[in-house]
């Protein structure tokens, strides 16, 4: 029977005997764990040589001798020569030092330890070994299935004992709303979370999948209604992390695209709280794609400008719309749309520039309202368009654009009155 044992090798000497690809893989894995790796072999392959040049291992270019095992914590032999590997195993056994023997395709491994096929999820390392002898292909297949399960966020990875380090904060960009667009890294962070501080937007359905004892703090905002101000959100993040908890700040879209993620990172750093960011799919790009609108299109436009509707027009955005060289994406622009239209027309933008307003992007009740610039605000009002919605302005929003071969002049594309406002 084989017993699994986690071994701490950081800053401890280990010996790798052999200079081929197998030895290189094992030496690199040991170096990654912080071990002091000594490679003994008359010749080494290029990856091993690179490891030595990088200062992550030292190399003795000769045959192995018994004295090489002095004071080491672990031995790994992978010469491919039966007699040499057997001798190394015997020396290690006599010294009561665990030895991994890589074996070979024509002989079984004979060491006193085995290297598991491993996968990592955060600070959890999962290893797979066979109890009836080395069987690398089988253990790798099992490892890969377990890795997929962990990546999907289906396993509760929260710590059950107090960690030696302090708590930390992870800002997770949840994407535009569809849970399927939450990244693998985001799901993994949620699987480790003790506390989730959640927005109103983004993949809120994923909250129902969390274990019942994960604390969920709702700090969602809606237009004109901010029950939890940003300073209070910052305080909540810092306070929970300082209690030793892993805090996930689940945000809609991407944390750094009008998500005030920068302010939250700054607040954590100022308080000495470790903080990391998991990027998300921004609604600035996802909404248009979900509606079948390419933000750039060869022969039409090649630039995109993203703006906050409450800030009003920038000179760059107006210039791009006037010469039709740019697509402008407006976030948080529903309430501001009448004023934006008025100012754009005053600023010399063509009244017939196409506009598409995408509500509830990527969700089952997604709806698109289209119209020329001078009519779009009235159309949205008549249809009761509400936030969250993304406004796309420019030639790429023209109905039927993708029905025309790339490269045809956009001036030949006349709007179809039957689809305007649909």
CA-CA distance, 253 to 203, in Å (whole number)?
Answer: 9
Domain ends where: 281, 302, 317?
A: 281
**Which range marks the domain in which residue 138 is found?**
118-151
Same domain, 404 and 295: yes
H or E element in which residue 100 lies = strand 99-101
Q: Which two tokens stand for residue 375?
A: 């009519």
**158 within a domain of the structure (yes/no):** no
Same domain, 273 and 296: no
Per DSSP, 320 falls in state H
Per DSSP, 309 falls in state G
Best CA proximity match to 150, nearest among 171, 180, 120, 129? 120
Q: What residues form DSSP beta bridges with 120?
A: 125
Same domain, 408 and 291: yes
Same domain, 110 and 25: yes
* pLDDT at position 227: 77
Catalytic site residues? 199, 221
CA-CA distance, 281 to 195, in Å (whole number)?
Answer: 22
Same domain, 295 and 377: yes
Best CA proximity match to 197, nearest among 165, 234, 159, 151? 234
Same domain, 194 and 270: yes
**419 within a domain of the structure (yes/no):** no
Same domain, 344 and 394: yes
Best CA proximity match to 152, nearest among 119, 190, 124, 125? 190
Q: What residues form DSSP beta bridges with 17?
A: 40, 77
Q: Which two tokens stand for residue 390?
A: 């993304």
CA-CA distance, 368 to 329, in Å (whole number)?
Answer: 14
Same domain, 60 and 90: yes
Q: pLDDT per position in the chain (422 positions), as tens?
A: 455 667 889 999 999 999 998 899 889 989 998 999 999 999 999 999 999 999 999 999 999 999 999 999 999 999 988 899 999 999 999 999 999 888 655 555 677 887 776 676 666 777 677 666 666 667 677 777 776 766 666 676 666 655 545 699 999 999 999 999 999 999 989 988 999 999 988 898 899 888 888 999 999 766 555 678 999 999 999 999 999 999 999 999 999 999 899 999 999 999 999 999 999 999 999 999 999 999 999 989 999 999 999 899 989 999 999 999 999 999 999 999 999 999 999 999 999 999 999 999 999 999 999 999 999 999 999 999 998 999 999 999 999 888 755 544 444 433 444 443 44
- CATH number of the domain to which 367 belongs: 3.30.950.10
**364 within a domain of the structure (yes/no):** yes
CA-CA distance, 208 to 185, in Å (whole number)?
Answer: 18
* Cβ atoms of 373 and 337 closer than 8 Å: no
Same domain, 372 and 401: yes
- CATH number of the domain to which 229 belongs: 3.40.1010.10
Q: How far is CA 337 from CA 203, 321, 330, 340, in A?
A: 26, 16, 9, 5
Ordered alpha helix ranges (H), 209-251: 230-242
59 phi/psi in degrees, rounded to 5: -130, 130
- CA 391 to chain centroid, in Å, comes to 27
**144 within a domain of the structure (yes/no):** yes
- CA 47 to chain centroid, in Å, comes to 28
**342 within a domain of the structure (yes/no):** yes
Best CA proximity match to 297, nearest among 178, 400, 162, 156? 400
* Cβ atoms of 69 and 95 closer than 8 Å: yes
* Cβ atoms of 393 and 353 closer than 8 Å: yes
Domain ends where: 94, 115, 136?
A: 115
**297 within a domain of the structure (yes/no):** yes
- CATH number of the domain to which 48 belongs: 3.40.50.720
**26 within a domain of the structure (yes/no):** yes
Same domain, 146 and 220: no
Q: Residue 388: is the preceding peptide bond cis (ω within 30°)?
A: yes
**296 within a domain of the structure (yes/no):** yes
Per DSSP, 208 falls in state G
- 10 HSE (CA, 13 A, CB side): 2
**pTM over 0.85, yes/no:** no
CA-CA distance, 363 to 347, in Å (whole number)?
Answer: 35
Q: What residues form DSSP beta bridges with 14?
A: 37, 74
Domain ends where: 281, 296, 329?
A: 281
* pLDDT at position 166: 67
Same domain, 289 and 381: yes
Same domain, 276 and 294: no
Q: How many domains does the chain have?
A: 4
């Amino acid at each position: 029977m084989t017993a699994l044992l986690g071994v701490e090798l950081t800053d401890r000497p280990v010996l790798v005997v052999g200079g081929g690809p197998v030895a290189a893989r094992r030496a690199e894995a040991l170096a990654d764990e912080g071990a002091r790796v000594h490679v003994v072999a008359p010749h080494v392959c290029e990856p091993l040589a690179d490891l030595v040049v990088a200062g992550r291992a030292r190399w003795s270019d000769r045959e192995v001798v018994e004295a090489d095992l002095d004071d080491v914590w672990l031995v790994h032999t992978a010469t491919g020569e039966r007699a040499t590997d057997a001798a190394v195993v015997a020396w290690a056994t006599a010294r009561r030092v665990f030895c991994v023997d890589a074996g070979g395709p024509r002989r079984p491994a004979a060491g006193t330890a085995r290297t598991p096929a491993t996968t990592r999820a955060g600070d959890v390392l999962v290893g797979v070994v066979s109890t009836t002898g080395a069987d690398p292909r089988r253990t790798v297949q099992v490892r890969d299935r377990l890795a997929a399960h962990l990546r999907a966020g289906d396993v509760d990875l929260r710590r059950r004992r107090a960690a030696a380090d302090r708590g930390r904060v992870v800002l997770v960009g949840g994407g535009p709303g569809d849970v399927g667009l939450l990244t693998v890294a985001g799901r993994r962070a949620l699987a480790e979370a003790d506390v989730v501080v959640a927005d109103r937007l983004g993949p809120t359905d994923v909250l129902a999948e969390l274990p019942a004892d994960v604390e969920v703090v709702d700090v969602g905002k809606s237009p004109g209604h901010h029950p939890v101000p940003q300073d209070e959100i910052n305080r909540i993040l810092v306070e929970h992390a300082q209690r030793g908890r892993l805090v996930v700040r689940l945000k809609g879209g991407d944390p750094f695209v009008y998500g005030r993620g920068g302010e939250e990172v700054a607040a954590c750093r100022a308080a000495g709280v470790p903080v990391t960011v998991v990027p998300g799919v921004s609604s600035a790009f996802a909404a248009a794609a979900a509606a079948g609108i390419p933000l750039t299109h060869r022969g039409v436009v090649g630039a995109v400008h993203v703006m906050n509707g409450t800030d009003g027009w920038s000179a760059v955005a107006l210039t791009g719309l006037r010469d039709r060289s740019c697509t402008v994406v407006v976030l948080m622009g529903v309430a501001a749309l009448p004023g934006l239209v008025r100012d754009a027309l005053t600023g010399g933008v063509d009244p017939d520039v196409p506009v598409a307003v995408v509500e509830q992007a990527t969700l089952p009740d997604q709806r698109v309202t289209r119209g020329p610039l001078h009519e779009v605000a009235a159309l949205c009002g008549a249809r009761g368009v509400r936030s969250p919605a993304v406004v796309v302005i420019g030639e790429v929003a023209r109905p039927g654009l993708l029905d025309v071969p790339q490269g045809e002049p956009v001036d030949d594309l006349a709007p179809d009155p039957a689809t305007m406002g649909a």
